[in-house]
Structure 1
Amino acid sequence: MSSEETEVLVIGAGQAGIAMSEHLSERGIAHIVVERERIAERWRTGRWDSLVANGPAWHDRFPGLEFDVHPDAFAPKETVARYFEAYAEKIAAPIRTGVEVTAVRRRSSGPGFTAETSAGTIHARYVVAATGPFQRPVIPAVVPAEAGIHQLHSSGYRNPQQLPDGAVLVVGAGSSGVQIADELRRAGRKVYLAVGPHDRPPRSYRGRDFCWWLGVLGKWEMAAPPAGAEHVTIAVSGARGGHTVDFRRLAAEGITLLGRAGAFERGTMRFAPDLAANIARGDANYLDLLDEADAYVARNGIDLPAEPEARVIGPDPECLTDPILELDLAASGITTVLWATGFAVDYSWMEFDAFDDRGRPRHHRGVSVEPGVYFLGLPWQSRRGSSFIWGVWHDARYLADQIMIQRGYHAYLPEAATAAGASTPSDSGLDHVAALAASGAL
């Protein structure tokens, strides 16, 4: 097989890899982007058919290209995939599709890394893992296969017709779980939805999308989730033009709400008695954001229409006041359990000590503890907005700056070496180090 050299190897050609390529190209850094499938494949085949972006098109995009939909619309997944294809073409990103990386390790001799791929060996001074957080679907080991219940992860769900006839238990009430549960109900299915701790921001308030409110209130720049909220999901939806997730409304429309799913034994699933507390927490999060928005409007004298009806909380449904703590799945007609329980990372192909005991990267803003390795596309990588399309673009710019800084250090020659006849390095990385230091960015 072939063997080649490059300065930077970027692994993954989704939104993270394409953003990284743009910033590397702007700095004149030679690089290759490899992708085992097609550009933005997760947007095409890794989600359900009706998925749309959770942020409006004016907000969730790269600075260099607009979506070909209305700015306030929520782009369908195929539109998003085409957007990234067009962006990659626009910046002439050196992407090679159909190339799978099977191992990355330190070079046995010389600086940098060796990547073993399905197309040969690539040697690189720096490696950027732009594979994102959605690598391995997590299905808790709760319902055994011999229980005879059809089980699938939300990443394997496509549409209601895919599932066997019968009721569906959806476990997980973040954005994916809520949207899938609502779609199944609209298709005529009986749906049970297990709801854990969550935040539920308003989709819009006083004529502005919640993405706008998070921006002007400075919340996108939060460096870490609040204490105790590391595993709290966000229930927000761009489906059907976008709407605020309201669990009481979902219950009124026929979805039976449950607490967090627990143990399964002899056909019966148990649920925690925490449904009311989880709903109350989501309500508090919702109302707190309205309070902050109102205070911002008053403080800045902005002319935005008042929206008192947004504060109206509907009556509690019976499933909230008299919660179900045990459910016989067969007696309830449930034939499918759909796990909207998130993903785990999988960096088993990176053969060095740069991960914690759960396999998560040890890094600061994407800069690995393993010198020369970088991660991109992680939630909360540098800020709250890191996992959004626009956020990953800014994180990629930061990593490109870090690579430039490293180039400068590697180009440095001591004064004694220069006096002995070596030429002074002209690598632009040295200038970049100086410029960043002068600006306070270091």
Structure 2
Amino acid sequence: MKNPTLPHHEVVVVGGGQAGLSISHGLKAEGIEHVVFEKHRAMHVWRTQRWDNFCLVTPNWQCALPGHPYRGDDPHGFMKREEIVQYLDAFRAHVDAPLREGVAVELVKPLPEGGFLVRSSEGECTAQQVVVASGGYHEPIVPRLAERLPAQVVQLHSAQYRNAAQLPPGKVLVVGSGQSGAQIAEDLHLAGREVVLAVGDAPRCARFYRGRDVVDWLADMGYYEMPVGQHPLREGVRDNTNHYVTGRDGGRDIDLRRFAIEGMQLYGALTGLDVDGATLRFAPRLREVLDQADRTYNGINASIDRYIDEQRLQAPPASVYEPVWQPAEERETLSLTGAGITSVLWCIGFAPDFRWLDAPVFNGRGHPVHDRGITRVPGLYFIGLPWLHTWGSGRFSGVARDAAFVVQRVTELRSTKVRTTVAPNALVDLAVV
């Protein structure tokens, strides 16, 4: 497999975020030679694609990267952006990975004789195995209708948003109500900006219920241990939008209905732009999506109620959320100029971009097909994707377990390669050659 004219590595890890460094941690423990290529700087996304008031939506105790659990004095709090970066920088120092920053991987391709060709911005090499740890959120999604909005309207993706002062005076249209959209809408609202929110199908959940953080209850109930194959939606859960909630100011619910009472204007999902280029169109489903989000909210709480009853636990009384506001009508159009909208924030997510990976491991939508990160191509793995194995796979809470599993498979395949390249009964060092 080796090309004597090219540098060779036992394992190439693509991506220097928490997933890639978690793999490096495990490979070092096994004594497996490897290199980690990072296109930018380690933990690039956490440094550059989070707004000023960003904080975790899961409690700090869930930060459990391998060999680096949260050790602060506020396990049930929510680290802010700078604290998260400090935690991750300490993890980087702890791992001390063979990391090459500023190296963009341009091609990974299986070789006919086994192993892989890896082409990067610093040249070519070969690898016995490759772990893709670059995540699944690469290309900011902005719809084509954005091209037709008036030139004077400032447009940003959520990855570019930092704070309210970044935007010109006037109303702000936030498109999307997932975790980023709901929290950015709240950030603008608390800053005194007039916000129009195009509400999508994202569900919501309570921050605290019956005396505890909902995350604590769900952890006790085993939800975070549930593998994707046992989830009612099976692999379909990977396409789900995350529940909106916040850890801001110690944590609280995000209730879009209450925002409406306080002056935020809610519409259904944005569906189009009239030919005049100035009139937006929205789906007449605002009441429906708000009601569905509340059903999810109450359904999660009801599952906690059942758990408390089954375990005969002492807890404050149960409750059911009742809507504090209902839309008087379904508004389907909005004039940008008439409403005074000067900014649009696109909070509708990211698309994967694995064009550099030339291997038959993708479905029709460009998502990798795998079983717990293991692909059909021997020696090619993924890590750090949402629901790779459990809910925590794309978060600080579950990546350590995923990394340990992938490293185990790397080690097993490496041992197999060793056995198949050594003559029977030969008294030699069993190092991969």
TM-score normalised to structure 2 length: 0.90
- Judged with a 3 Å threshold, the aligned counterparts in structure 2 of structure 1 residues 373 and 49 are, in CA distance, closer, same or farther, namely same
Equivalent residue in structure 2 for 1:393, among 387, 400, 405: 400
Tell me how far apart the structure 1 counterparts of residues 301 and 364 of structure 2 sit (CA, whole Å): 40
Q: Who is 2:309 aligned against? A: 298
Question: 1:408 touches 1:427 (CA, 8 Å); kept in 2?
Answer: no
Task: Report the AA paired with residue 27 of structure 2.
Answer: L
Residue 175 of structure 1 pairs with residue 179 of structure 2: yes
Q: Who is 1:78 aligned against? A: 82
Within a 5 Å distance, the mapping from 1:409-420 to structure 2 comes to 409-413=416-420, 418=424
Equivalent residue in structure 1 for 2:215, among 197, 211, 215: 211
Within a 5 Å distance, the mapping from 1:92-131 to structure 2 comes to 92-107=96-111, 110-131=113-134
Tell me how far apart the structure 2 counterparts of residues 67 and 235 of structure 1 sit (CA, whole Å): 27
Q: Who is 2:325 aligned against? A: 316
Tell me how far apart the structure 2 counterparts of residues 79 and 408 of structure 1 sit (CA, whole Å): 40
Q: Who is 1:193 aligned against? A: 197
Q: After superposition, give the CA deviation of every residue in 1:347-392 in whole Å (9 maximum; x if it has no partner).
A: 1111222222322112221112222111111111112221111112
Q: Who is 1:223 aligned against? A: 228
Task: Report the AA paired with residue 6 of structure 1.
Answer: H
RMSD value, Cα:
2.3
Task: Report the AA paired with residue 12 of structure 1.
Answer: G
Tell me how far apart the structure 2 counterparts of residues 414 and 314 of structure 1 sit (CA, whole Å): 67
- 3-state DSSP class of the match of 2:173? strand
How many Å apart are 1:255 and its aligned residue? Answer: 1.0
Question: 1:354 touches 1:361 (CA, 8 Å); kept in 2?
Answer: yes
Equivalent residue in structure 2 for 1:249, among 249, 258, 268: 258
- 3-state DSSP class of the match of 1:288? helix
Within a 5 Å distance, the mapping from 1:52-71 to structure 2 comes to 52-62=55-65, 64-65=67-68, 66-68=70-72, 70-71=74-75
- Judged with a 3 Å threshold, the aligned counterparts in structure 2 of structure 1 residues 121 and 389 are, in CA distance, closer, same or farther, namely same
Task: Report the AA paired with residue 305 of structure 2.
Answer: D
Q: Who is 1:40 aligned against? A: 43
Q: Who is 2:246 aligned against? A: 237
Question: 1:32 touches 1:94 (CA, 8 Å); kept in 2?
Answer: yes
Task: Report the AA paired with residue 70 of structure 1.
Answer: D
Task: Report the AA paired with residue 61 of structure 1.
Answer: A
Tell me how far apart the structure 2 counterparts of residues 296 and 367 of structure 1 sit (CA, whole Å): 34
Give the unaligned 5+ runs of structure 1.
429-442
- Judged with a 3 Å threshold, the aligned counterparts in structure 2 of structure 1 residues 341 and 26 are, in CA distance, closer, same or farther, namely same
Question: 1:49 touches 1:158 (CA, 8 Å); kept in 2?
Answer: yes
Aligned pair count reads: 419
- 3-state DSSP class of the match of 1:367? coil
Equivalent residue in structure 1 for 2:411, among 394, 404, 419: 404
Within a 5 Å distance, the mapping from 1:140-159 to structure 2 comes to 140-145=143-148, 147-148=150-151, 149-159=153-163
How many Å apart are 1:341 and its aligned residue? Answer: 0.3
Q: Using the aligned pairs only, state the percent identity.
A: 36
Tell me how far apart the structure 2 counterparts of residues 195 and 389 of structure 1 sit (CA, whole Å): 28
How many Å apart are 1:175 and its aligned residue? Answer: 0.9
How many Å apart are 1:222 and its aligned residue? Answer: 4.5
- 3-state DSSP class of the match of 2:8? strand
- 3-state DSSP class of the match of 1:321? coil
Greater than 6 Å deviation, 4+ residue runs: none
Q: Who is 1:166 aligned against? A: 170
Give the unaligned 5+ runs of structure 2.
none
Q: Who is 1:437 aligned against? A: none
Tell me how far apart the structure 2 counterparts of residues 105 and 292 of structure 1 sit (CA, whole Å): 46
Question: 1:407 touches 1:427 (CA, 8 Å); kept in 2?
Answer: no
Q: After superposition, give the CA deviation of every residue in 1:386-422 in whole Å (9 maximum; x if it has no partner).
A: 111111221111111111221232223499x52xx53
Q: Who is 1:434 aligned against? A: none
Q: Who is 1:435 aligned against? A: none
Q: Who is 2:135 aligned against? A: 132
How many Å apart are 1:146 and its aligned residue? Answer: 5.2
Tell me how far apart the structure 1 counterparts of residues 417 and 206 of structure 2 sit (CA, whole Å): 49
Question: 1:61 touches 1:67 (CA, 8 Å); kept in 2?
Answer: no
Residue 343 of structure 1 pairs with residue 354 of structure 2: no
Tell me how far apart the structure 1 counterparts of residues 297 and 362 of structure 2 sit (CA, whole Å): 35
Q: After superposition, give the CA deviation of every residue in 1:294-349 in whole Å (9 maximum; x if it has no partner).
A: 121121122233354xx2424324xx231211111110001111110000111111
Tell me how far apart the structure 1 counterparts of residues 146 and 126 of structure 2 sit (CA, whole Å): 45
Question: 1:39 touches 1:84 (CA, 8 Å); kept in 2?
Answer: no
- 3-state DSSP class of the match of 1:257? strand
Question: 1:33 touches 1:94 (CA, 8 Å); kept in 2?
Answer: yes
Tell me how far apart the structure 1 counterparts of residues 397 and 15 of structure 2 sit (CA, whole Å): 17
